[in-house]
Chains A and B, each alone.
Chain A
Amino acid sequence: MAELTMRDALNQALHQEMERDPRVIVIGEDVSGGAGGTSGKRDAAGGIFGVTKGLLPRFGEARVIDTPISESAIVGLANGAALAGMRPVAELMFADFVGVSLDQIFNQMAKFRYMFGGKAQTPVVLRMAMGAGMNAAAQHSQTIYPMLSAIPGLKVAVPSTPADAKGMLAAAIRDDDPVIFFEHKALYSRKGDVPEGEYLVPFGEAALLRQGRDVTVVAIGRMVHFAAKAVDKLAAEGITCDLIDMRTTSPIDEEAILESLSQTGRLVVVDESNPICSIASEIASMAATKGFHDLRAPVQKITAPHTPVPFARELERIYVPSPNDIEAAIRAVMKEV
């Protein structure tokens, strides 16, 4: 184990996977940076958040490919290279830029295997930074994993810890299906213990981070940490919760959630996304359709409001679900008998 930031854990996974498999390439805007600049320095950026730093000097320009600002072509490039046998890790910078490249994501990479009779595969990893917390406003802060999780053919990873970030990125690169890989901007500098050497976290397996009797709390991404705060605070009062980190929103580990719900009878779902058609909605629907007889209280959905992400610090703070909101929701389900 070594203590690493999520940024360094991701960087380690990229180094290890590129070392292991020569078919792995990294492409995107400024993944190294500096090409054509006046300083003459390459690897000037190493990715807008520094995740791909050091890959260019180690693996060279044939495998670490800076592209123009052309998101459709970046994802298309990854799709075509994958069809032709490579394993591209493409970066979109901000998840919001899915808007510019959506056709290549949901009409192309997601559908090739199925549409072409099972004879094609598109092992692309599409990395993107998401989430509020940096006052980056409405077009650089969204958590759009719900809309991509709704698309058959895509897998969707939303790690919350440095260890998961490393293990899930390595697993994503080895996966024969396209994986949309969401990295929360506010978690890049967060540290945690990370296993050294090869480390893989399988998809579709949620992590049970706290065990309790009273409430099942399901959270995703940065919300896992907010939920942990609330859960730990309430534990001191004798209210104990199962805290489940979903880790992947496609596939969803239904079994882990339903199993916990069958023990607690109470469910709180925390999702930084907008409320309609959110992952919180999906989990609530699952509880209603598959866990109805276990429910002792109405499900509490804690999400952002149905608004774009606002800019001002005060507004963004209200927008993002807080540990207090989660605590209140847990107390609310405990009041119902």
Chain B
Amino acid sequence: MQQSPDQIRQAYRQMRLIREFEERLHVENPKGEIAGFTHLYSGQEAIAVGVCENLRETDYIISTHRGHGHCLARGCDPKGMMHEIYGRADGLCKGRGGSMHIADLTKGMLGANGIVGAGQPIAVGAALACKARGDGSVSVSFTGDGASNQGTVFEAMNMAVVLKLPKLFVLENNGYSEHTGASYGIGSDLKTRTEAFGIPVWEADGFDYFSVYEAAAKALEYIRAGNGPAAVLAVATRYFGHFEGDPQNYRAKDEVKNFRETVDALKQIREKVTGAGIFTVEELDAIDAEVLALIDASVESARTGPVPGADILLSDVYIDY
């Protein structure tokens, strides 16, 4: 699965964008300007980007409460997202959705979702629409280890198989279902369980962009050939808590530090592409600087963005008000 330098540059930039977006939110959150619950994706960037770099414009994705990474990987506007997270009238969802409900239908992004496991049946429905269109498009759901214990996920898997739909299940095991280890909550294991539905699973190293990209490419090739649903199982970790402010008493002291120093997704892709002579360190640093400036500008404008009023409160409940 040879990728062009342009593709790799794009993937690296997307991963850096997610990393900077999330690390910056971690810094900004305690300042009190951001309302509500924020769940960060740092540490899992290779999964969202490795999958989404395989997708076509007509494909759909649906995300979770930890959705910023998927939104950015699918091409949602970072500034519009930042404004949404700050609750601004010009945010992607007019300040009515917030961190947990960012969506952009024009990008085939059917929404982050505050209900754990709710997205999977919806993504199966989008897959039904893809099949009806017959244009080879697919629908992708991202599902955490926690959500994978919801009955909705089992129902969605079975439904996708029964109706033979073009549906990719991306199972992201980040090690924790909120404050409980994945090993405690999952009977059997995610691969066996998924295969039991008749869904083939391609496993990937969730810290390694190339590993995820290749696994997703194979799964999507299987799906686009008309074989029905497939899954990608990727293991990584989240660098922050379940939500911002989570004291993370359930984690060993140096757990995150060790991940960051050894297998970190950004560190890995930098080493691989510089080692292979595809880009120089300076070229990657230049991408980093461009992304950092974009995040700075997004936060700056979000902090002073327009505050929504009653007109926004009382519209879009129905088509006519």
Contact = CB atoms under 8 A, between A and B. Distances in A.
Contacts of B125: 76-84, 88
A103 B121 CA distance: 11
A175 B159 CA distance: 27
A79 B119 CA distance: 10
Interface in B281-316: 315-316
A72 to B, nearest CB: 5
Interface in B115-149: 115, 118, 120-132, 139
Given A72-B151, A72-B155, A76-B156, A120 B103 contact: yes
B318 A177 contact: yes
B206 to A, nearest CB: 25
Contact of A80 (B114, B129, B315, B317): B129
Interface stretch (A111-119, A222-230, A303-311): A111-119
B112 to A, nearest CB: 10
A107 B156 contact: no
B121 A76 contact: yes
Contact of B318 (A79, A83, A153): A153
Q: How large is the interface on A (under 10, 10 to 19, 20 to 34, 35 or more residues)?
A: 35 or more
Interface string A58-75: 000010010110101101
A86 B127 contact: no
A76 B118 contact: yes
B129 A86 contact: yes
Interface string B90-101: 011110110001
Contacts of B106: 119
Nearest to B151: A72
Interface in A97-140: 103-104, 107-108, 112-121
B95 to A, nearest CB: 8
B276 interface: no
Contact of B101 (A85, A103, A115, A176): A115
A80 B318 contact: no
B101 A116 contact: yes
A113 B96 CA distance: 10
A103 B118 contact: yes
A75 B96 contact: no
Nearest to A107: B115
Contacts of A114: 96, 316-317
Contacts of A155: 318
Contacts of A84: 60, 110, 125-126, 128-130, 139
Given A80-B121, A114-B317, A117-B91, A103 B115 contact: yes
B141 to A, nearest CB: 9
Interface in B235-260: none
Contact of A115 (B60, B62, B96, B121): B96
A73 B128 CA distance: 12
A85 B130 CA distance: 10
A173 interface: no
Nearest to A153: B317
Contacts of A176: 319
Contacts of B152: 72-73, 76, 103
A104 B118 contact: yes
B259 to A, nearest CB: 33
Nearest to A120: B105
Contacts of A175: 319
B104 interface: yes
B319 A108 contact: no
Contact of B317 (A86, A88, A107, A113): A113
B163 interface: yes
Given A25-B132, A76-B125, A79-B122, A118 B155 contact: no
B61 to A, nearest CB: 11
Given A84-B125, A103-B118, A104-B118, A118 B94 contact: yes
Given A84-B126, A118-B316, A77 B118 contact: no
A78 B121 CA distance: 9
Nearest to A155: B318
A81 B118 contact: no
Nearest to B113: A108
Given A68-B162, A70-B159, A76-B152, A83 B105 contact: yes
A87 B51 CA distance: 29
A81 B129 contact: yes
A93 to B, nearest CB: 16
Contacts of A177: 318-319
B229 interface: no
Contacts of A57: none
12 contacts: A25-B132, A70-B155, A72-B152, A72-B155, A75-B121, A79-B122, A80-B124, A113-B317, A113-B318, A113-B319, A117-B103, A177-B319
Given A72-B151, A76-B121, 15 more contacts: A70-B155, A72-B152, A76-B125, A79-B122, A80-B62, A80-B110, A80-B125, A80-B128, A83-B125, A84-B126, A86-B132, A103-B118, A108-B115, A116-B101, A118-B94
**When A and B form their complex, which 7 residue pairs have the shortest distance between CB atoms, in order from nearest?**
A76-B121, A80-B125, A84-B129, A117-B93, A118-B316, A73-B155, A80-B122
